[in-house]
Amino acid sequence: MTCPNCGAQNRPAAKFCKQCGADFSPTRAVVPRPATASPAKAPANGKPALPHPVPT
């Protein structure tokens, strides 16, 4: 097995590169989770909930 990182020759069943230590284990695809946050609700007084302005 040739290391894709450094090009060194390794045993066919190697899990790591003997030269640079690269990991040969298969990478797992990361599946994004759907957002679970719900939209903010307006307060009972009917006015939108906005943060107070910060003086600069």
The tens digit of pLDDT for each residue in 31-41 reads 667 766 666 66
Would you mind telling me the total number of residues written for the chain in this entry?
A: 56
Residue 7 in any domain: the answer is yes
Q: What is the pTM assigned to this prediction?
A: 0.45
Residue 21 in any domain: the answer is yes
Question: Can you give the pLDDT of all 56 residues of the chain as single tens digits?
Answer: 899 999 999 999 999 999 999 999 887 655 667 766 666 665 667 666 677 778 87
The rounded distance, in Å, linking the Cα atoms of 12 and 2 is: 9
Residue 39 in any domain: the answer is no
Tell me the residue range of the domain where 3 lies.
1-25
User: Into how many domains does the chain fold?
Assistant: 1
Residue 16 in any domain: the answer is yes
Q: How many CB atoms lie under 10 A from the CB of residue 17?
A: 20
Residue 14 in any domain: the answer is yes
Residue 49 in any domain: the answer is no
Residue 9 in any domain: the answer is yes
Residue 18 in any domain: the answer is yes
